[in-house]
Homo-oligomer: A and B are copies of this chain.
């Protein structure tokens, strides 16, 4: 059984059904009936007027959001381990035309207001240094941690005070919200977030993510950037349909809860081995090379995560039942 990544999971039934439903002639690009329903559906979910743009990947969502916030000669502040810094082959630099990512340390993959302040304050206000224009945080973080609304709001305060835009990379936003138990609004726009990369693919989608702008002014030029980047799919209705299908009946939340439950079971089995509290669907734990080999011999696949550590990720279809054998195997080490 594979616990490499939630990227490896199949698409969920609601998504597959939506593709069939959308499979008729309709207007090209985002002029179709499905795409036109997006703003409304997400505005309902967030309890405020939002502008939503579908894109096929989280990298595209992140890079487009940042390009709307940071000029080429500017900078953005993010965690040293942020996906945008470490795992996107320089997509933010590509889309922003060379803005700089200024890296900040922080426990559990989180930024704190103090750390942001310290970094921003050290930048000379002259033309020799790139000036910060935005903050990007990841929720759930690269360490599988979830921000509380209060934590985000504190960062939102810094952003406001320093006139910085605030972006949230929510590749696993659903898992974070499911864990914290807050509303999507509380941990985003109510806390000062200006744009959210709302991930669906890892959570049971096939090929659609939602870039949600809480500030519509950021969306206008983004439509040009999306086309210019080759992301305006001509049959966009299939992307919109996926997103709508996952909003309906809160499939997005149910899927995330299932994945989280699987992770929680592994976490319980891991006990003292845990490197980080498990607050989403990722489990980071200590594992010797021998122990790792033992698990693999039993058919469990996962990533080594630095020396003596491993990462297990559960997906929407790897809830408690599917994960039980792995949990037992870990407990039995």
Q: Which of B98, B100, B227, B238 contacts A207 (CB 8 A)?
A: B238
Report the separation of the CA atoms of residues A99 and B206 in the bound assembly, to the nearest whole angstrom. 31
On whether the beta carbons of A227 and B16 are closer than 8 Å, the reply is: no
Interface string of A1-12 (1 = CB under 8 A from B): 010110111110
On whether the beta carbons of B226 and A229 are closer than 8 Å, the reply is: no
Q: How far is the CB of A57 from chain B (nearest CB, A)?
A: 5
Interface string of A21-32 (1 = CB under 8 A from B): 001111111000
On whether the beta carbons of A91 and B238 are closer than 8 Å, the reply is: no
Q: Which of B19, B58, B93, B232 contacts A99 (CB 8 A)?
A: B93
Q: How far is the CB of A94 from chain B (nearest CB, A)?
A: 5
Question: For the complex, is A231 an interface residue (Cβ under 8 Å from B)?
Answer: yes
**Oligomer copy total:** 4
Given A2-B25, A72-B90, A221-B73, check contact A7 B207 (CB 8 Å): no
Interface string of A236-275 (1 = CB under 8 A from B): 0011000000000000000000000000000000000000
Q: Which of A127-135, A138-146, A157-165, A183-191 contacts B (4 or more CB under 8 A)?
A: A127-135
Given A25-B8, A128-B88, check contact A72 B94 (CB 8 Å): yes
Question: For the complex, is A20 an interface residue (Cβ under 8 Å from B)?
Answer: yes
Residues on the B chain within 8 Å of A95, using CB:
230
Interface hits, A191-215 → B, CB 8 Å: 201-202, 206-207
Question: For the complex, is A170 an interface residue (Cβ under 8 Å from B)?
Answer: no
Question: For the complex, is A281 an interface residue (Cβ under 8 Å from B)?
Answer: no
Residues on the B chain within 8 Å of A225, using CB:
73
On whether the beta carbons of A7 and B20 are closer than 8 Å, the reply is: no
Report the separation of the CA atoms of residues A233 and B16 in the bound assembly, to the nearest whole angstrom. 17
Question: For the complex, is A87 an interface residue (Cβ under 8 Å from B)?
Answer: yes
Q: How far is the CB of A70 from chain B (nearest CB, A)?
A: 11
Given A57-B232, A234-B202, check contact A11 B26 (CB 8 Å): no
Interface size class of A (residues with CB under 8 A): 35 or more
Residues on the B chain within 8 Å of A234, using CB:
5, 7, 57-58, 201-202
Report the separation of the CA atoms of residues A2 and B60 in the bound assembly, to the nearest whole angstrom. 32
Residues on the B chain within 8 Å of A231, using CB:
56-57, 60, 230-231
On whether the beta carbons of B233 and A89 are closer than 8 Å, the reply is: no
Q: Which of B11, B87, B238 contacts A129 (CB 8 A)?
A: B87
Q: Which of B61, B62, B100, B202 contacts A93 (CB 8 A)?
A: B100
Residues on the B chain within 8 Å of A78, using CB:
none
On whether the beta carbons of B93 and A127 are closer than 8 Å, the reply is: no
Task: Kindly report which residue of chain B lies nearest to residue A23, judged by CB atoms.
Answer: B10
Report the separation of the CA atoms of residues A4 and B95 in the bound assembly, to the nearest whole angstrom. 32
Task: Kindly report which residue of chain B lies nearest to residue A61, judged by CB atoms.
Answer: B230
Residues on the B chain within 8 Å of A75, using CB:
90
Report the separation of the CA atoms of residues A94 and B99 in the bound assembly, to the nearest whole angstrom. 8
Report the separation of the CA atoms of residues A13 and B23 in the bound assembly, to the nearest whole angstrom. 10
Can you list 20 A-B pairs with a CB-CB distance of less than 8 A?
A16-B23, A56-B231, A57-B231, A57-B232, A57-B233, A57-B234, A64-B230, A87-B129, A88-B227, A88-B230, A89-B130, A89-B228, A90-B228, A91-B228, A91-B230, A93-B98, A93-B100, A128-B227, A131-B224, A207-B238
